């Protein structure tokens, strides 16, 4: 295994771990369903804060997933 392939593999493992952590931290899309059924309401400030944090996590998920896919393609090309 050459040096480039080793570096790409390590980067892919790191990106996989980061992707797992980011996805685990995100709240589900149905997180607000319990409040809708029970009749409790949230303040505007708390809704806005969680939406911005979830939006940042969603954006980070997309970027890390794209990096993971590009690293996978790079490793497969480096193996040729």
Within a domain: residue 58? yes
- Phi, psi at 40, each rounded to 5°: -80, 150
Separation between Cα atoms, residue 53 and residue 39, nearest integer Å = 24
**Each residue's pLDDT tens digit, 33-64:** 555 565 555 555 556 665 688 888 999 999 99
Within a domain: residue 35? no
- Split into its structural domains, the chain has a count of 1
- Say whether pTM exceeds 0.75: no
In Å, what is the CA distance from 77 to each residue of 8, 15, 71?
Answer: 11, 18, 10
Q: Are the beta carbons of 35 and 42 closer than 8 angstroms?
A: yes
In which domain, by residue range, is 57 found?
Answer: 1-24+52-80
């Amino acid at each position: 295994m050459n040096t480039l392939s080793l570096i790409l593999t390590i980067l892919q493992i790191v990106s996989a771990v980061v992707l797992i952590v980011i996805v685990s931290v995100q709240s589900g899309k149905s997180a607000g369903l319990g409040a809708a059924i029970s009749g409790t309401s949230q303040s505007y400030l708390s809704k806005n804060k969680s939406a911005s944090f979830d939006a940042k996590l969603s954006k980070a998920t997309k970027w890390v997933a794209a990096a993971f896919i590009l690293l996978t393609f790079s490793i497969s090309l480096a193996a040729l």
